[in-house]
Chains A and B, each alone.
Chain A
Amino acid sequence: MRVDGKGEGSLISVRGLDKKYQRGSEEIHVLQGLNLDVEKGEFVAFMGPSGSGKTTLLNLVGGLDVPTAGKIVVAGDEITHMSARKLTAWRSRHVGFVFQMYNLIPVLTAFQNVELPLLLTKLSKEQRRKHVETALGVVGLSDRMHHYPRQLSGGQEQRVGIARAIVADPTFLLCDEPTGDLDRRSADEILDLLDRLVRDYQKTVLMVTHDPLAADRAHVVLHMEKGVLVEQKAQVAQ
Chain B
Amino acid sequence: MKFRHLIIANLFRKKLRLVLTLGSFTVAMFLFGLLAILRTAFVGGVDVAGADRLVAINKVSIIQPLPFSYKDRLRRIKGVKDVTFANWFGGIYQDERNFFANFAIDKDTYFEMFPEFVVPPDQKKAFMEDREGAIVGKQTAERFGWRLGDRVPIKGTIFPGTWEFNIRGIYEGKRPQDDTTQFWFRWDYFDERKQFQKGFVGWYTVRVADPNDSVNVVKAIDSEFANSPWETKTDTEKAFAASWVKQMGNIQFLINTIGAVVFFTLLLVTGNTMAISVRERIRELAVLKAIGYSDRFVLFLVLAESLVVAIIGAGLGLGLAKLFTMGGDPTKGLLPLFYLTPTATSLGAVLAVAVGILAALLPATTAMRLRVVEALRRV
* A interface residue numbers (CB < 8 A to B): 59, 62, 64-65, 84-85, 88-89, 91-93, 97, 99, 101, 103, 105-108, 112, 116-117, 119-120, 125, 164
Is B16 positioned at the interface, with any CB of A under 8 Å from its CB?
no
Chain B: number of interface residues, binned into ranges: 20 to 34
User: Which of B80-88, B214-222, B238-246, B281-289 is the contact stretch?
Assistant: B281-289
- Inside 8 A of A112's CB, which chain B residues have their CB? 5-6, 9
Chain B, range 335-379, C-beta contacts under 8 Å to A: 372-373, 376
Cβ contact within 8 Å between A97 and B9: no
Cβ contact within 8 Å between B10 and A99: no
Residue in contact with A120 in the complex, picked from B13, B293, B373, CB distance below 8 Å: B293
Cβ contact within 8 Å between A89 and B372: no
Cβ contact within 8 Å between A107 and B292: no
Q: How far is the CA of A117 from the CA of B292 in the complex (A)?
A: 7
Total CB contacts across the A-B interface at under 8 A: 63
- Inside 8 A of A92's CB, which chain B residues have their CB? 291-293
Q: Which residue of B lies closest to A128 (CB)?
A: B2
Q: Which of B10, B12, B289, B376 counts the most A-chain CB atoms under 10 A from its CB?
A: B376
Cβ contact within 8 Å between A116 and B373: no
Q: How far is the CA of A117 from the CA of B2 in the complex (A)?
A: 12
Chain B, range 260-306, C-beta contacts under 8 Å to A: 283-284, 287-295
Cβ contact within 8 Å between A88 and B295: yes
Cβ contact within 8 Å between B291 and A105: no
Q: How far is the CA of A108 from the CA of B10 in the complex (A)?
A: 9
Known A64-B372, A103-B283; contact A88-B292, beta-carbon cutoff 8 A: yes
Q: How far is the CA of A39 from the CA of B293 in the complex (A)?
A: 28
Known A59-B373, A64-B373, A65-B373; contact A103-B292, beta-carbon cutoff 8 A: no
Cβ contact within 8 Å between B6 and A108: yes
16 A-B contacts (beta carbon < 8 Å): A62-B290, A64-B372, A65-B372, A85-B294, A88-B292, A88-B294, A88-B295, A103-B284, A105-B284, A107-B9, A108-B5, A112-B5, A112-B9, A116-B6, A116-B288, A117-B291
- Inside 8 A of B294's CB, which chain A residues have their CB? 85, 88-89
- 10 extra interface residue pairs, beta carbon distance < 8 Å, beyond A103-B287, A119-B6: A64-B373, A91-B290, A97-B291, A99-B287, A103-B283, A105-B6, A105-B9, A105-B287, A119-B2, A164-B291
